[in-house]
C-alpha cells in the first residue's frame, strides 16, 4: 500500500494542474474506489484526466473507500483557487513532468479561460488544428452571448503556411493580416488568448491538440486587467488602421 503522504502529494499536484471541474469529476469517481476511476477513465476524452485516473488508482487500496482521496482532491483544489486569486501570474506548461511542481497544464488553463468568458474572447494563433473540446467550448461561449474574435494565420497571406480554415461553423468575428500589409517573409506567429480584457494567456502554444497535450510548450497566464486590456487595444488599433482586416 502506498503511504498517505504520497497520496497527499499526488492530490495536491493534480489540483495544481487540472481545472476545478475535472477535480470534481475525479473526486466523485474516487468515492467509488478503483472501479469508479476506471469507469471515468473509459468515459473522458482528455489525456490529462485519464492519466490522473490511472495514477489515483495506484494509490488506492483495492476495494477501499476513496472518500479520503476525494476529500484531499477537493480541499487541495479549493486551496489552489484561493492562492490563484491572490497572484497575478502563473507559468503554464505542456510536456513532460518534472520535480518542480509550480506549473499548470495548458489544456486546463485554456479550458478554464474559455468557460470563464462573459463578454468577449480574443484568440490569436499561427497553427490551428483544435481539439474537439476547444471547438465545443467556443461554441458554448458564443451561444451564451460571448463575442468571439479570431485572428489566425491564413495560407493566402503566408505562402509558407499550410493549414485549413478553423472553426468553420463558429459564430465569430474573423480577422487576418493580409500579405500586402506585411514585411516580406513575415508570419502571424503570436499565440494569445484574452478573456473579457481582464486575463491573458501568452505563450508558445498554438490552438492545436498537440500544443495542449503533447508538445513542450510554455506560457504565462496574466491576471492583470491593465496588461490584458493593453494587448486587446493594440490589436484593436491594428484593425482600426487597416493593418488587420476582416476576413470574408
Which residues sit opposite 89 in a β-bridge? 222
Q: For residue 128, what pLDDT is reported?
A: 95
- Residue 244 gets which letter from DSSP? S
Q: Which residue has the cell 480574443?
A: 122
- Residue 180 gets which letter from DSSP? G
Q: For residue 119, what pLDDT is reported?
A: 96
Helix axis angle, 106-116 to 132-143, nearest 10°: 10
Rounded distance, CA 177 to CA 244, Å? 5
**Of the candidates 208, 193, 205, 203, which has an alpha carbon nearest to the alpha carbon of residue 149?**
193
Q: For residue 101, what pLDDT is reported?
A: 61
CA 99 to chain centre: 22
Q: For residue 96, what pLDDT is reported?
A: 86
Q: For residue 78, what pLDDT is reported?
A: 86
For the CA atoms of the chain, what is the radius of gyration?
A: 20
**Of the candidates 103, 166, 164, which has an alpha carbon nearest to the alpha carbon of residue 134?**
166
Q: Does the global pTM surpass 0.95?
A: no
Q: For residue 82, what pLDDT is reported?
A: 72
Q: For residue 61, what pLDDT is reported?
A: 78
Residue pair 194/73 in contact by the 8 Å Cβ criterion: no
* Tens of pLDDT, residue by residue, the chain (248 residues): 344 458 888 898 888 878 888 899 999 999 999 999 999 999 987 788 899 999 999 988 776 678 989 999 999 888 877 766 665 888 999 988 777 665 678 998 999 999 999 999 999 999 999 999 999 999 999 999 999 999 999 999 999 999 888 999 999 999 999 999 999 999 999 999 999 999 999 999 999 999 998 999 999 999 999 999 999 999 999 999 999 999 86
Q: For residue 2, what pLDDT is reported?
A: 40
Q: For residue 232, what pLDDT is reported?
A: 97
User: DSSP of 47-65, one letter per residue?
Assistant: HHHHHHHHHHHHHSPTT--
Residue pair 128/121 in contact by the 8 Å Cβ criterion: no
- Residue 177 gets which letter from DSSP? -
Residue pair 216/96 in contact by the 8 Å Cβ criterion: yes
**Order of all β-strands in the sheet with 217-222:** 103-105, 89-94, 217-222, 199-203, 192-195, 120-125, 147-152, 173-176, 245-246
Q: For residue 84, what pLDDT is reported?
A: 65
Amino acid at each position: 500500500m502506498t503511504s498517505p503522504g504520497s497520496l497527499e502529494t499526488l492530490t495536491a499536484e493534480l489540483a495544481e494542474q487540472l481545472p476545478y471541474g475535472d477535480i470534481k469529476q475525479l473526486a466523485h469517481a474516487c468515492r467509488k474506489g478503483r472501479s469508479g476511476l476506471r469507469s471515468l477513465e473509459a468515459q473522458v476524452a482528455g489525456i490529462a484526466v485519464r492519466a490522473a485516473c490511472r495514477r489515483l488508482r495506484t494509490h488506492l487500496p483495492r476495494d477501499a473507500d476513496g472518500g479520503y482521496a476525494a476529500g484531499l482532491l477537493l480541499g487541495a483544489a479549493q486551496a489552489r483557487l484561493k492562492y490563484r486569486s491572490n497572484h497575478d501570474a502563473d507559468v503554464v506548461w505542456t510536456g513532460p513532468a518534472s520535480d518542480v511542481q509550480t506549473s499548470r497544464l495548458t489544456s486546463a488553463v485554456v479550458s478554464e479561460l474559455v468557460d470563464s468568458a462573459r463578454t468577449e474572447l480574443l484568440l490569436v494563433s499561427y497553427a490551428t488544428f483544435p481539439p474537439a473540446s476547444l471547438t465545443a467550448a467556443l461554441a458554448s461561449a458564443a451561444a451564451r452571448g460571448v463575442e468571439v474574435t479570431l485572428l489566425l494565420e491564413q495560407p493566402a497571406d503566408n505562402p509558407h503556411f499550410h493549414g485549413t480554415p478553423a472553426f468553420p461553423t463558429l459564430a465569430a468575428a474573423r480577422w487576418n493580416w493580409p500579405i500586402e500589409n506585411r514585411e516580406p517573409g513575415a508570419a502571424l506567429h503570436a499565440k494569445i488568448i484574452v478573456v473579457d480584457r481582464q486575463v491573458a494567456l501568452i505563450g508558445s502554444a498554438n490552438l492545436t491538440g498537440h500544443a495542449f497535450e503533447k508538445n513542450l510548450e510554455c506560457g504565462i497566464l496574466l491576471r492583470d486587467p491593465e496588461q490584458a486590456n493593453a494587448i486587446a487595444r493594440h490589436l484593436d488599433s491594428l484593425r482600426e488602421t487597416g493593418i488587420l482586416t476582416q476576413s470574408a
